[in-house]
Each structure stands twice: as C-alpha cells, then as structure tokens.
Amino acid sequence: RQTIADTLGVGGIMRGLRTVPHLWKICEDMLAVCPQAIMLQYVNPMAINTWAIAEKYPDIKQVGLCHSVQGTAMELAHDLDIPYEEIRYRSAGINHMAFYLKFEHRQPDGSYRNLYPDLLRAYSEGRVPKPGWNPRCPNRVRYEMLKRLGYFVTESSEHFAEYTPYFIKDGREDLIEKFGIPLDEYPKRCIEQIERWKGQAEAYRSADKIEVEQSKEYASSIMNSVWTGEPSVIYGNVRNNGCITSLPYNCAAEVPCLVDASGVQPTFIGDL
C-alpha cells in the first residue's frame, strides 16, 4: 500500500528500472554532442536516478532537482504567518528524506530566531498544519514526526508516510484516518494534472499574450548563474563526495549548492 510510490518500495523501484535506461541514453547523447553541458534532472526516483547516472557516467555534469526544500519552507512560513522572504534555512539529507537543520526567522535587528519551538507549540495547540493546496493531504504526518525527531522533513506527508513503518499498517485504518494519509494518491493526481494541462493548452492557444513568471523551481536560476556568473544557492541532488560524512561515499545526497559560472558546487555538511 503506497500513496505516491515514486521513491522507494515496489512503485519506486519499478519506476527507477523504467527511468534509468532512458537517462543513460541522454547521457550518451550529451557525451557525443555537449560533454560540458549540465544535466538538470527533475525525474523521480531522484536518488536512484542521480546515483545511477553518477555510477555509469561519472564525467557527466548533473544535478537532480526537486521542489520539496523551498516548497516546504513556503508551507511552514504560511503555517506560522511569516513572510517567506524573512525565513532562513539549511537542509540536508537524501532526496525526499532531507531535514531542516536550521529553520529561522529574521528579526528586526538582523539576528535570527529558531522557529522549531514555534512549530512544535503550534502543532500541540492544534493551529497547524493549515489547509494546503490539496485537501486530500493534510500534512499531519510530518508534524507528528517533528515531535519525535526534533527536525522537520522536507518532503510531503503523503510521501513521508511511505518511508517509515509507523503510519501505513495492516489492520490500522485508524492511523490512515487520524493522519489523513491519502492511499493511491498519485493516480488521482495524474488524472487531475492531465486535465489541467489540457486547460492550459487551450488557454495558450487562444491567448493574445502569455505572461511568463519565474517559478520556485531552480532550473532558471541555475541557467542564469552559469551563464552570467551571478551566484545563487540551490538545493541539489549530487554525488556524495564527502558532503555528508555520515552517508555512504558516492551515494546521492541532497545538499545546498553554490551555482555560478563554475557550475553547480555542493557544499560541505558533515555528519547528520
């Protein structure tokens, strides 16, 4: 029983087996026509894909990109009624299993205040999580795990419910109901997404003018930084060449990365 099934378990493994060979073919093309280019890879299972590319094509410059780090930071800012622009955070781990090592709010004097006590208090008082974009996914699992671990995980509750043995259990439908775990969520989401795409396509065909705004995704900022040299910081999935010392060397790790004209440069975290 899974909710999203794009990272691990039967669904994640099968998705990796389907996806990796196609990414390897792209790597072959890159080596032939653009060996200095950077692959910006948005496909799940992110950790499996990033690791597989690094193992077979170590000379390919690549970074796996997810929106969970910045997306969850926005969710938590919303839960606490704090402008996202006033939040500072640092996260690390593996894709869909990275945690905010720091989550802080800038104060008027320029200092930063730890927001973990605020999140824990708001959860204990029933003020969070606030309703999000998907009413089927109330985000209770991650807050419950925050109580147990002391750190907030960056991927959604519907994902994270699959990654632990505590919530999806045989004969424990009470847990499914209590924590609002949306089993078989991904097929529903795909159907809805396809309908949105159809609507968008029709709107684009009939529009006199199409406005394009930068999203929270990292790809455009990476391209800008590499091309212009203007530095930026992203959270990327890269080969773990010692960035996180408590994870296996050469596995796929998700860490803060500096991006400029020299490319994507992972930063050191140390032990987790």
Encode the chain (272 residues) as per-residue pLDDT tens digits: 899 999 999 999 999 999 999 999 999 999 999 999 999 999 999 999 999 999 999 999 999 999 999 999 999 999 999 999 999 999 999 999 999 999 999 999 999 999 999 999 999 999 999 998 899 999 999 999 999 999 999 999 999 999 999 999 999 999 999 999 999 999 999 999 999 999 999 999 999 999 989 899 999 999 999 999 999 999 999 999 999 999 999 999 999 999 999 999 999 999 99
CB 3 within 8 A of CB 162: yes
The answer as to whether 152 is a domain residue is yes
The answer as to whether 260 is a domain residue is no
Tokens of 92: 């690390």
Residue linked to tokens 């039967």: 10
- The 10s digit of each residue's pLDDT in 216-235 is 999 999 999 999 999 999 99
Predicted structure pTM score: 0.95
The answer as to whether 78 is a domain residue is yes
Catalytic center residues: 67
Quote the domain boundaries for residue 106. Answer: 68-183
The answer as to whether 114 is a domain residue is yes
The answer as to whether 205 is a domain residue is no
The answer as to whether 178 is a domain residue is yes
The answer as to whether 3 is a domain residue is no
Q: Buried b / exposed e across 223-251, counting CB within 10 Å, b at 16+?
A: eebbeeeeeeebbbbbbbeebbeebeeee
The answer as to whether 201 is a domain residue is no
Domains contained in the chain, number: 1
